Amino acid sequence: MNMGLTLAQLTQAIKSKVDLDMETTVAESIAEHALGFFGFSNRIIDNALEPTDRNLFYQLQDYDLLTTESEETTLWDGREWRIHYWKFKSNAAKIVEEAEAERKRRALEEDPYAQIYDGMPADLWRERSGVDDDYEEPLF
């Protein structure tokens, strides 16, 4: 399963490698396009790619997110056949973590109090706001 990378994580990793200020929608479309090839597999065969898609994969390889592997098999007539695959690198998750840490560091530089409420449980806000509250005012 794609080393557990989500669309959001791969989007952030691409932004960290290209430009942290790039539009999220642009990075997300690149990530979505790449992830679309993998489906539920952890690798795909290179022959499935069009030249423009292969160029994208080479770019992701340059960003240290993808790698290639190959295997050989013997055909029924005795010839050797090599099959090339693409797969996400095992360090891709680490790159995503580093990108997230960098994003948080930059956010703190801009606003040191930006993450002050991040540790608060979500249900605390619902409790205080009255949303999803079963309490009914007494009629009299």
CATH number at residue 28: 1.10.10
In a domain, residue 137? The reply is no
* Among 89, 97, 91, residue whose Cα is nearest residue 43: 89
For residue 21, what are the contacts with CB-CB under 8 A and spacing of at least 6? none
Cα separation, 30 vs 100, in Å, equals: 18
Expressed as residue numbers, the domain containing 29 is 2-129
In a domain, residue 71? The reply is yes
What is the pLDDT, as a whole number, of residue 65? Answer: 87
Number of domains in the chain: 1
What is the pLDDT, as a whole number, of residue 49? Answer: 93
In a domain, residue 66? The reply is yes
pLDDT tens digit string along 73-124? 999 999 999 999 999 887 777 777 787 787 778 777 877 776 777 777 777 7
The dihedral sign for the CA sequence 131, 134, 139, 140: negative
Q: Give the distance from CA 124 to its chain's centroid.
A: 29
Q: What is the pTM of this model?
A: 0.62
